[in-house]
Amino acid sequence: MASERAKAMRAARRTAAFAKFRMVELNLVPLVDTFVSIVFFALTAATVGELAPILSGVTLPEASVGVPAHQEVTLGVASSPAQIVFNGTPLMSVQEAASATSNLPTEPLVIPALYTRLKASVDSIRQTSNLDQNTSVDTKLAIQGDKTMRYDLLQRLLQTARMAGFKNITLQVHRVGIPEGGAAPTT
């Protein structure tokens, strides 16, 4: 009888010690619904918030594939008026850019005035990021060229941007077949 009593006391102590580990029912459906909603709105807001604005006067060509653009720096070639625009600020006319002579003998395609402006922008990015002066920057440069732009001018813009220090250069187009909200700029 004493052994039964001891067994009962041990069982009672064990039950009391493990009572805190008892399984509790938890309904996870509302929690999962909440997390799905948060993720959906976060992704939607992040995508919409980072689209690069299309510069006025630029009519982008169309493409049926591509990912949304996420640029910080934009270089545009507008058709009306025919000018080159850097981050919304007109720099020069397209005629001036096309007829400009490079001041770098080894790089005949560089447009000097544009090179100076792009180089200042790259130097500012390098200084902010604490990069060496000879390092190309990872910041994307989006070129928004009007669909009537000449390829030789595009080649000169690409060469000038590369020489200034941009290594991620993208060409923007209008994406066709987007169901809501119209065409978004893409790279």
pLDDT at 49 (0 to 100) = 47
Instruction: Answer yes or no: do 94 and 175 share one domain.
Output: yes
Q: Are residues 133 and 96 in the same domain?
A: yes
pLDDT tens per residue across all 187 residues of the chain: 778 888 999 999 888 887 777 766 777 888 888 888 888 877 776 655 445 667 777 777 776 555 444 446 888 888 778 888 888 888 898 888 888 888 878 888 889 889 999 999 898 888 888 888 888 888 888 888 888 888 888 899 999 999 999 998 888 877 776 555 555 555 5
Instruction: Spell out the alpha helix ranges (H) of 50-101.
Output: 94-99
Mention every residue, 6+ apart, whose C-beta is less than 8 A from residue 143.
75, 76, 77, 154, 157, 158, 161, 169, 170, 171, 172
**Residue 164 carries which side chain, given as an amino acid letter?**
A
39 plus 76 within the same structural domain: no
The structure tokens 């001041």 sit at 103
Can you read off the two tokens belonging to residue 80?
């009306």
Is 0.75 topped by the overall pTM? no
- Do 88 and 179 fall within a single domain? yes
User: Same domain, yes or no, for 77 and 123?
Assistant: yes
Domain range for 25 is 2-48
- The answer to whether residues 60 and 148 belong to one domain is yes
Q: Do 96 and 136 belong together in one domain?
A: yes
* Dihedral, 39, 41, 46, 50 alpha carbons, nearest 10: 160
The single-letter DSSP state of residue 20 is G
Co-location of 94 and 147 in the same domain: yes
**pLDDT value at position 66?**
52
Strand partners, 86: 75, 89
3-state secondary structure of 165: coil
Task: Tell me what pLDDT residue 69 has.
Answer: 47
pLDDT value at residue 117: 92
State which of 10, 30, 48 marks the end of a domain.
48
**One domain, residues 95 and 156:** yes
Residues 32 and 69 reside in one and the same domain: no
Report pLDDT for 180.
53
Task: For residues 140 and 108, state if they share a domain.
Answer: yes
User: What is the domain count for the chain?
Assistant: 2
Residues 67 and 43 in one domain: no
